[in-house]
Amino acid sequence: MDDHTTLRMMNEASLQQQQAVREQTFSPDDTKQLRRFSTWEVANFIFGVNQDTFRKRLMDQPELPQGTVEKSNGQRWFTIDEITRLRRGLKFKNTSLVPPRPRGRALRVGVANFKGGVGKTVVAQHLAHAAALDGYRVLVIDFDPQATLTHSMGLTAVSEEQTVWGIMCRDLCKEADRIVETYDDPEDCPYPASYELPEDVQSIGRQKFGDFILPTCWGRSIHIIPSCANAAFVEFASAQ
């Protein structure tokens, strides 16, 4: 009779096949890179200032990032990290370009829908991009087992221990110990303590939360907690 070990073997075989396809179709030298932004885009769309004024400020403050200059036409191109440094170093009409930070906990936005193919990933992706271009630091958490959002951020081969599945394992260890502590005699608890869980789950449970946050092609502006195929098991269990 098939049990959880069969599912684990099938999952491992599937991951090996996925990795083989990636190795044949994806070159490590062609990693996803975020494009640079022109002077016109930075001034007009991102900072909302006059392009000539922006150029003059760059000349007046040579210590700030000057971008990459094209030899053919003198056009400057800036990376997202350079734009972030410019935002912190420039002021226009004595007004900072750094957006106000909300008081208390960070603003949290969830994108969910019971239907498939309705644009959840695209909405989440564009929302994260817009917030990053406005100067906010963004943490994206991908719960979709397809991991489309994870791949769009430049991550292709991520260990399951560093995904939302790892966070679930970590929380399982904490919750197991919390339940055991509610019993006067731990031996009366019908549920296992964290030390009784599989060793791989225990090792994940010892990780810090920051271990699950990975960088993306957006540099310091967007980080992500990626998803993986194992997240589908949680969906199936919830549906039952």
d(CA 189, CA 173): 15
pLDDT bin (cut points 50, 70, 90) of residue 184 is: confident
Whole-number pLDDT of residue 70: 87
> Residue 132's closest CA among 223, 70, 13?
223
The two tokens of residue 199 are: 């060793």
> Residue 228's closest CA among 239, 207, 210, 214?
214
Whole-number pLDDT of residue 81: 92
| pLDDT tens profile 133-148 | 999 999 999 988 888 8
Residues of 156-169 as b/e, b for ≥16 C-beta within 10 angstroms?
Answer: eebebbbbbbbbeb
pLDDT bin (cut points 50, 70, 90) of residue 237 is: very low
Q: Give me the residue spans of the domains in the chain.
A: 37-96, 114-239
Whole-number pLDDT of residue 124: 92
| pLDDT tens profile 94-129 | 888 888 888 888 889 998 888 878 888 899 999 999
Whole-number pLDDT of residue 86: 93
pLDDT bin (cut points 50, 70, 90) of residue 30 is: low
- Indicate the angle between helix axes 164-181 and 231-239, nearest 10 degrees: 60
> Residue 38's closest CA among 8, 73, 7?
73
Whole-number pLDDT of residue 236: 47
pLDDT over threshold 60, residue 234: no
| pLDDT tens profile 198-215 | 777 777 777 787 888 889
How many helices (H) and strands (E) are present in the chain, helices listed first?
9, 8
